[in-house]
């Protein structure tokens, strides 16, 4: 992989993904965009570590909205805080909201902007690896409800996504590793060459320059989303690892040992490789290759005990299901995902018991 790759602007139908330095890109965007008032959504982490990187580009009358970080706060209660701040801050339909943060900030901030006054414009500035390679691209927005991931939401485009790897310097290693799971997923579902290149990465902490991995991941997601914006067919392959992974994540959020999103998705991919072999004939060699690599990166976060009934409950509530059948996107070979695979619960029980 060319680590000196030049990241070029990617243009989707109604917005662009920009890779210039965030100060340059945001300054240009604000000069070219007419708005009545400006708001920036942050949590305690992005206020401390990231806001200073864009502060000089913001007008003096910019209003900052603070929320608490973490998936546990990705709820309608937090949306109320955001909506109240917009309302009390005098926001109108010409206002602009900048979402400065990871996947939670982007998903929830975009959702709140899209529903406030039937929709105000927003900009995504993703500050985590997870949000840069995955969550900020594709216009899916939403919140969790009763521990079910992203069950309330909508599709709505931002006016721009501004990606700057500089923000990754503020991240703890666990957050980098969490985001890396989505890079792995993109390789497994779409790019066998990228999968082969990832094998040289033994530890996420040793990746000195993320530009090439971020850019290729965004390219992959852009290519998929452009073909299927509303997730009717091909886009479903982006859910590989997520049917089981979201259930694992939701379950462990109710315990004293919650998992980060990417940690749960890594083990979701591990389990769904087994289903891929059983249903689509994924070869022993491919299953072993995927398992070895996922274990190498995420072994210390492998779930050792869970409640199978609870996992099945979460999976029954998955928004991808059809006619109460649990839906998966699986692999028939490394680098190629296949959507709309329905799995009987008896097979899932057997899988969990032998995990």
Active-site residues: which are they? 118, 140, 182, 221, 231, 235, 239, 242, 246, 261
Cα radius of gyration (the chain): 20
Phi, psi of 246 (to 5 degrees): -65, -35
Other CB atoms within 10 Å distance of the CB of residue 159: 16
β-pairing verdict for 96-101 and 38-43:
parallel
**Phi/psi class of residue 167: alpha, beta or left (left: φ > 0; alpha: ψ in -120 to 50)?**
alpha
Q: Which of 2, 74, 65 is nearest to 37 (CA)?
A: 65
User: Do residues 319 and 144 lie in contact, with contact meaning Cβ atoms separated by under 8 Å?
Assistant: no
CB atoms closer than 10 angstroms to residue 157: 19
Distance CA 213, CA 229 (A): 23
Q: What does the alpha-carbon distance between residue 55 and residue 30 come to, in Å, rounded to a whole number?
A: 13
Chain-centroid distance of CA 145 in Å reads: 17
Q: Name every residue whose Cβ is closer than 8 Å to that of residue 23 and which is 6 or more positions away in sequence.
A: 53, 54, 56, 57
């Amino acid at each position: 992989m060319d680590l000196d790759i030049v990241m070029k602007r990617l243009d989707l139908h109604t917005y662009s993904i920009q890779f210039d330095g965030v100060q340059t890109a945001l300054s240009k965007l604000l000069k070219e965009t007419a708005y009545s008032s400006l708001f920036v959504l942050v949590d305690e982490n992005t206020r401390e570590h990231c806001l200073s990187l864009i502060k000089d580009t913001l007008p003096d009358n910019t209003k900052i909205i603070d929320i608490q970080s973490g998936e546990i706060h990705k709820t309608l209660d937090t949306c109320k805080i955001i909506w109240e701040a917009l309302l009390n801050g005098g926001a109108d339909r010409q206002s602009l909201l900048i979402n400065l943060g990871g996947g939670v900030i982007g998903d929830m901030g975009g959702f709140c902007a899209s529903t406030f006054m039937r929709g105000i414009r927003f900009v995504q500035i993703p500050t985590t690896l997870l949000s840069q390679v995955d969550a900020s691209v594709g216009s899916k927005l939403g919140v969790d409800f009763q521990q079910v991931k992203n069950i309330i939401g909508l599709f709505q485009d931002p006016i721009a996504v501004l990606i700057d790897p500089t923000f990754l310097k503020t991240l703890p290693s666990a957050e980098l590793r969490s985001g890396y799971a989505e890079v792995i997923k993109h390789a497994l579902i779409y790019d066998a060459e990228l999968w082969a290149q990832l094998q040289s990465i033994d530890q996420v902490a040793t990746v000195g320059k993320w530009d090439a991995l971020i850019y290729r991941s965004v390219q992959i997601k852009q290519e998929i989303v452009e073909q299927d914006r509303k997730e009717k067919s091909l886009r479903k392959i982006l859910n590989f690892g997520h049917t089981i992974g979201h259930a694992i994540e939701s379950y462990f959020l109710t315990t004293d040992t919650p998992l980060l999103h990417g940690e749960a998705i890594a083990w979701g991919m591990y389990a769904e490789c087994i289903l891929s072999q059983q249903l689509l004939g994924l070869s022993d060699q491919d299953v072993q290759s995927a398992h070895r690599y996922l274990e190498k990166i995420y072994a210390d976060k492998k779930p050792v005990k869970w409640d199978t009934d609870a996992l099945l409950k979460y999976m029954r509530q998955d928004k991808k299901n059809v006619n109460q059948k649990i839906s998966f996107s699986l692999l028939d070979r490394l680098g190629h995902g296949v959507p709309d695979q329905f799995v009987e619960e008896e097979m899932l029980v057997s899988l969990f018991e032998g995990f």
